[in-house]
Amino acid sequence: MSCRTVAPCWRSALLLGIGLLVAVSQPLRAQPLPAEFEAALQRAKLPRESVAVLVVDAAGGAPPRLSHRANVPLNPASVMKLVTTYAALDTLGPAFMWNTPVFVEGAVRDGTLYGNLYILGQGDPKLVVERLWLLLRRVQGLGVRRIAGDIVLDRSAFEVGPQDPSDFDGEPLRPYNAAPDALLLNFKSVVMTFVPDFAANTAQVSFEPPLAGVQMQSSVALSNAACNDYRATLKADFSDATRIGFGGAYPAACGERTWSVAYADPKSYGVRAVEGLWREMGGKLVGTVREGRVPAPGGVLPRPAFELASPSLAEVIRDINKYSNNVMAQQLFLTLSLPQRGEGQPIVPGVATQQASREFLQRWWQARIGGDDAPILDNGSGLSRHERISANALARLLQTAYRSPQMPELMASLPITGVDGTLRRARVKTAGSAHLKSGSLRDVTALAGYVHARSGKRYVLVAVVNHSHANAARPAMDALIDWATKDN
């Protein structure tokens, strides 16, 4: 069942929610922790009071196998993405796609558009450089090789306010710190590929996308150093937004490598990327690429020349959960409060805000999950010091999802222990036995998801550590996963 409007779903959710609430919340008295888990916590110097754990039957109807501080709200880090992604599956549906409309203003004659080209951002979280190329190629497919006016980028659908990418952790060049954007292009990042050329004793450097007005050093000297921290030995200089250069060398032993960095001036990224790629594709531009609004006489937008569709939501949440993509999660979070149009309906401009998305999710939570322990939400990605949720609340959400039609899509989006995503390196004895979302911040380590036990049963597992030594909790988490699989 998909419930874009929350209210009609409450009746069907109420009985299920009451059942799950009783199953999860009745016997939440503290229980002895598994010996191997507690021993690993002690080795990591983590007190019991820093941990919340809950292991319960995924289908509900039975007391928890393990419960410890399960009602205490804690910072879950990226595990909060479970709330955002399941709410999106439940309300938008797994086949939902983001459309990016393109409008042509004026006539096209002899390959020239005598007017402006407008690109309207609608929150697509995966408008990467390959898909931006496809969008511009479709413009050329309209017979446009030269634009006598401007290319106008409309980013008005998201209202997020000014953001400093260095605010969270002082790492402004980390792509995960990119701010959400209605027209998010390539995560506002530059992808650099280094390929050794032994004959020339250099490494050739290519950049995607090309950025208009930015000088990019195309080669760097090779060195005989070991391939350790090659990024440090390159001595890259990103301080000047109009130039990317290197003061060091690239170790030949590294072979071909790719390095993604957030562009130093994110406000100008979209303008530079669109112009750079358009010109690289052979397009000509008389005017400029600039930000602006699509003209909407009477509050309704004209019919677009075409719309570029994103991958489906079911595909997008795999990137969000398996690889813990923060900016994609924030794009999805904002999309929840962006007015959606029905098939064949005209485009009416709307604006999404974080506050509106928080309010939407609070209403959805009460209708679908219930209880008096709704999460405290910030941006829906877990990249926050303010978000809080209890293990009990997370478990009820996962139980609700397990008994819903969206269960296969949600479970398939989670990292598989010892196999892929953020848990590829998990040191568990039973690799492949669990689908779990991981979370990590300074002072936070968390896991939540589903464990397939030896008996054939499936359990919900939630474990959250909030402590200054939380980054040492991984061995304890691995021990807990192994324990949860042994139920006979």
Residue 170 pLDDT level (bands cut at 50, 70, 90): low
Tell me which fold the domain 7-95+316-485 belongs to: Beta-lactamase (3.40.710)
Say if residue 320's pLDDT is above 80. yes
Tokens (6 digits) for 380: 């829906």
- Cα gap 173→189, rounded to integer Å: 9
- Per-residue pLDDT at 16: 46
Residue keyed to tokens 């709704």 = 374
H or E element that contains 84:
helix 81-92
263-301 confidence digits (pLDDT tens): 999 999 999 999 999 999 999 999 999 999 999 988 889
Q: Where in the chain is the domain with CATH 3.40.710.10?
A: 7-95+316-485
Structure-model confidence comparison of residues 5 and 312, the more confident one: 312
In this prediction, residues 43-61 reach a mean pLDDT of 97
Tokens (6 digits) for 36: 């191997």
- Cα gap 477→87, rounded to integer Å: 26
177-227 confidence digits (pLDDT tens): 789 999 999 999 999 999 999 999 999 999 999 999 999 999 999 999 999
Which top CATH class is 98-310? alpha beta
pTM for this predicted structure: 0.91
Residue 113 contacts residue 147 (beta carbons within 8 Å): yes
DSSP string, 106-143: SEEETTEEES-EEEE----TTB-HHHHHHHHHHHHHTT
Residue 281 contacts residue 135 (beta carbons within 8 Å): no
Name the residue type at position 150: D
- Per-residue pLDDT at 3: 52
Say if residue 171's pLDDT is above 80. no
Residue 435 contacts residue 377 (beta carbons within 8 Å): no
Within 10 angstroms of residue 18's Cβ, the number of other Cβ atoms is 12
- Cα gap 23→409, rounded to integer Å: 24
Nearest to 117 by CA among 151, 85, 86, 91: 151
**Angle value at C-alpha 399, between 398 and 401, nearest 5 degrees:** 65
Residues 6+ apart with CB under 8 A from 231: 259
Residue 344 contacts residue 396 (beta carbons within 8 Å): no
Residue 9 pLDDT level (bands cut at 50, 70, 90): very low
Q: What is the mean pLDDT of the chain?
A: 92
135-156 confidence digits (pLDDT tens): 999 999 999 999 999 999 999 9
- Per-residue pLDDT at 161: 75
410-462 confidence digits (pLDDT tens): 999 999 999 999 999 999 998 999 999 999 999 999 999 999 999 999 999 99
- Cα gap 165→385, rounded to integer Å: 15
- Cα gap 195→198, rounded to integer Å: 10
Residue 347 pLDDT level (bands cut at 50, 70, 90): confident
- Per-residue pLDDT at 165: 64
Residue 175 pLDDT level (bands cut at 50, 70, 90): confident
DSSP summary character for residue 185: B
Residue 164 pLDDT level (bands cut at 50, 70, 90): low
- Per-residue pLDDT at 380: 96
H or E element that contains 436:
strand 434-441
408-420 confidence digits (pLDDT tens): 999 999 999 999 9
Say if residue 465's pLDDT is above 90. yes
78-117 confidence digits (pLDDT tens): 999 999 999 999 999 999 999 999 999 999 999 999 999 9
pLDDT-above-70 percentage for the chain = 92
Q: Where in the chain is the domain with CATH 3.50.80.20?
A: 98-310
Residue 24 pLDDT level (bands cut at 50, 70, 90): low
Residue 166 pLDDT level (bands cut at 50, 70, 90): low
Strand partners of residue 431: none
Q: CA-based Rg of the chain, rounded to a whole angstrom?
A: 25
Residue keyed to tokens 């951002």 = 121
Residue 26 pLDDT level (bands cut at 50, 70, 90): very low
Say if residue 313's pLDDT is above 60. yes
